[in-house]
Structures are given as C-alpha cells and as structure tokens.
Structure 1
C-alpha cells in the first residue's frame, strides 16, 4: 500500500507535535512558577524537583496509584479471559448467528461510552442497591468500575481477537480433534498460545485505555480515595489552579502520563505485530 506524500507529511507533523508537547510538559514540570511564565519554552535554569513532591502529596497519588494498578490489571485480565474464548467461537463457528454477532460486536466498538453514561450510572446504582440490601450487606464502587470496564472493553477485544483466530490454520484444530482433544483443550493448549501476540496486544491496549480513562471514574466513583490516577490528576488541576502551583500541576501530568508513554515505547512494536497477526494468512 502506497501512502500519499501529503498523508505522510501530515503524520510526521503530528508525531513531531506530540513529541514536542511531551518534552515541553517534562521540562515545564522542572520550572518554578515564575519561570513558567517568563520563559515558557526555555530550559529550566535550575530543576525544581520539589514540584513532584508537591504534586504527589497534594493529589494523594500514593493511594490512587494502587487503585489504578489493581482496577486496571484485574479489568484487563478478566476481559482477555472472557473475550478470547468468545472470539475463538466466533472465528471457528459456521452457524448462522455468528455473522449477526460479528456485526453487533463491530457496532458496539463504534459506540462511544459517552452515549451510555446514564444507563451505566443507573446500572451502578442498582448494583450497589442489590449488593448492600440483598446480597452482601456491603459493596465497593471499585468493583462496579471493574465490571463496567470489562463490559465496555469486551466488544473491541472480541473484535480484535476474532480476526487473529481466523488467521490461524484450521488444520491444527482438526488434527487435535482427530487425536481426541476436546474443543476446550484445543483452544487452551493449541490455539490460544498461537494467538498469543494478538492476546498480548489486546491486553496492553486495554490496559493503556483503562489506565488513562477518567470519565467513568468521575461519574461512577464519588469517594476520592477510591478513584484512579486520571481522576486524581483532574482534582490536582482544580487545586493547583487556585494555589497557582503550575509547576506542581505539570509534575502531576508527568507522573500520570510518562509511565504510559514509556510502556508504549517498550511494547509498541509488539502491539502492532499482534494487531496485524490476523490480517493475512
């Protein structure tokens, strides 16, 4: 596929702009408030590392970091455990309802989460009421967030993994069936390991998306101690805006955003390999 020169130029300009913004945020996080306004694009005269300590203590990043790690890791892992078998069935089944299910999954991928915020909030309220009043006598809204993360991430994950499983040769599953392997044994022992690049890519993409997500956190969780890092960064913005601690605000952005940038730089090529593994046979 030949990419037009204008498109390539636009992509390079976009990449350069994002690199510039990432570097600018990092350098600004090391400046004093006065230096941020007097020399917004210059290098810091003397790195002010206290900005990071101020951002960490003011925002309460310590507690919410653990929330983010637990919520995102559990959500991404359970999403893969549910989506991989479903995608395998959709990729291998010849039943008439499979085509309709694939279309439904694609439509769900295109549906923005903002359009279902009200139903999700109602579902959150009903889950809490059922758990507290009927089932357990207690509930934690972080569990609700995990359930909703899983539900909203399943369509994309199934859509991605279905293409990956379709790219695997059917002769392997047929040979396993002749040897007496059950469909479940065939999936877990043969097909899933072969599709591991796509499975790994789906996990990483879900992890990154959930880690950076703030809208659902702000809508579904009211207690600041139970929220995740992006929501804490928004609270930090409100706090630093009134205290005029702009260096601390930029330091908070570095704490939240830079780890994900480094993670993507580390695994970016593996993500692309996994996403294209089912494109051709």
Structure 2
C-alpha cells in the first residue's frame, strides 16, 4: 500500500509595493503668489543690472552731450570722428591709471595669496586637530565678520601712523590681510570639515606627521575651497576704496579705486563725464569679466563647503 505525502501549501508572495515618491520641494507645486512675486523681483533686479551695465559700456564711448541727451542710444559722435577710444585714452593718461593698475594687480595678488596661506592652516587646526576650545575660537573669529571695518578705521589709522605704515603699500597689505582673515577662515572651515577622517587616520598609521598630512593630503583635497577663497578675496580687494582713501595720499601708491576717486574732481571740473565714466569702466570691467568666467567655480565651491 502506497502512502502519499500531503500536498505542501504554496506560499503566497505579497504584491510588491512601489516605493513612495519623494515629496516635492516647498513652493514647487504650481506657481504660488509668493513664488511669482519672488521670480518677478529677481528678473526685475537682473534687468536693472543689465541696463546699468549697458549704460556704462555705451557711455564710455560717448561725448558728454550724448550722455545726457541720449543716455540709452548707441554712441555715434566719437565713432564718426574716427576716435572711438578717446574717453578711455583720456582717463588712462590723466588719472594715472597705468601705474595704479600695476600697483593694484600686485597688491591684490600678493594680499589674496597671503590671506589664503594664513587662513588655511588656521581653519585646518580649528576643525581637524582637536584643539581644545576650537568651537569657541571659530565663533570668536566669525564675530570679526559682523564688525563693520568702517568702525575701526580711525583707531587703525592711529596705530598705523605710530608705526609709520600710513601711505605705504606694505601697510595696506597688512590691513588687507588682517581684515580679510575672519571671512576666509570661516569659509575654509566648511571645506575642511567636509573631508573624510579616514584619510588622516591612514596617514597617521603610515607615520605621517600632522604637518605633512596637511600639506600632502588635506590641501590638495581642499583645492576647490582655496581657489574660491582666493577669487572672492581678489574681487573684494580690487573694489576696495575706503581704506585706500584713508591710508594712501601719494599718487605713486594709489590703487585704481583711489586713483579714480582723485580723478573724479578733475573730470567733473572740466565736464569730462565721458572720461570719468571710462575710468569707472576700467576699474569695474576686469573683475566683472573675472567673475563671469569663474562664476561656476565660485558657486560650486561655496555650495560644496556649505552642503557638507
């Protein structure tokens, strides 16, 4: 007699549930009134800045009469006379922009590099070396970002005068570096915090000192942050006027912004408004072109340091 085994019941597989869709970002469902208002404000602000830039570029090649009577028309008279760059040549020769341009390039380049060289080790020590009270020190340095430098100009001038560093490019170099360190340290701490700890642990196991780890491993990895800090400091120092106005009083030491301020009085007295606007264009356009070329790198660097 053959005994048959009872049938094995089949296991029912529950139906697969589709993964839940992520919730849309706030304000992304349709066009809310607040979002429409924000978009309108952004586009109006952008259009206004483009209009100002267009006026600046066209007025650079216009006569004073054209500037006031036809502010948004294309330049005509200087081109008709065969001398379209007359305002630029006038500003360059009469404002001393040749030497001022060289002084500004050297001063801004050296100051920006020095700021990064000082701020990078400080940011690394505050974020990676476990220094006691590093959070408090970081906050203390960040407080310097909230103090308007206009409030310290007078005591700073008195101290620099006692050290005979007024009307000196070296004195301006020291002032630029000192006033730019808080922002740069605060910016670079975000980049050093984003780096993985395993790299330092592996370097320590291999016998590398903290100094060698910093120069050989951490600095190359934080290259994006260093470049971003360098560019932002260069743009800020290039456009700086108040400190140069306070500390420099000889034409041989003038920066571009300081030379433009001195040129303003002479050009206004002679009604050379075309030359004055050309001087403004000479000061503004180099940094504008630099920012346009490197805007993607700057934005990527800032978001990387903030996102991690």
TM range (shorter): over 0.9
Give RMSD over aligned pairs: 1.5
Corresponding residue number in structure 2 for 1:244? 271
Q: Secondary structure at the match of 2:164?
A: helix
Using the alignment, how far apart are the partners of 1:277 and 1:143 within structure 2?
34
| Structure 1 residue 278: Cα displacement | 2.1
Q: Which residue of 1 aligns with 2:46?
A: 15
Q: Show the counterpart of 1:134.
A: none
Following superposition of structure 1 onto structure 2, how do residues 124-135 of structure 1 map, counting pairs within 5 Å?
A: 124-128=160-164
Preserved CA contact (<8 Å) 2:112 2:233: yes
Q: Deviations over 1:54-88 (max 9, x none)?
A: 00011000011111011111100000000001001
Match of 2:67 in 1: 36
Deviation at 1:190, TM superposition (A): 0.7
Q: How does 1:222-237 map to 2 (within 5 A)?
A: 222-237=249-264
Query: How far, CA to CA, are the matches of 1:280 and 1:180 in structure 2?
Result: 32
Contact 2:167 2:250 in 1 (8 A): no
The count of corresponding residues between Structure 1 and Structure 2 is: 272
Structure with more of its chain in helix, by fraction: 1
- Any stretches of 5+ residues in structure 1 without a counterpart? 130-138
Instruction: Verify: 1:145 aligned to 2:158, yes or no.
Output: no
Match of 2:198 in 1: 171
Deviations 1:219-248 (A, max 9, x none): 011112201001111111111100001110
Once the 2 structures are TM-superposed, how far is the Cα of residue 11 of structure 1 from its aligned partner? 2.1
Bigger Cα displacement from structure 2, 147-156 vs 34-43: 34-43
1:79-118 Cα offsets, whole Å, 9 max, x none, are: 0000001001111133442111111111101111101101
The answer for the alignment partner of 2:112 in structure 1 is: 76
Secondary structure, in 3 states, of the residue corresponding to 2:75?
A: coil
- Gaps of at least 5 residues in structure 2 are 1-24, 28-34
Tell me which moved more, 144-153 or 227-236: 227-236
TM-score (norm 2): 0.85
With 236-245 and 39-48 compared, the bigger mean Cα shift is at 39-48
Counterpart mapping for 1:66-145 below 5 A: 66-128=102-164, 141-145=168-172
Give yes or no for the alignment of 1:203 onto 2:239.
no
TM-score, with structure 1 as normaliser = 0.93
Radius of gyration: which is bigger? 2
RCO greater where, 1 or 2, for CA within 8 Å and sep 6 or more? 1
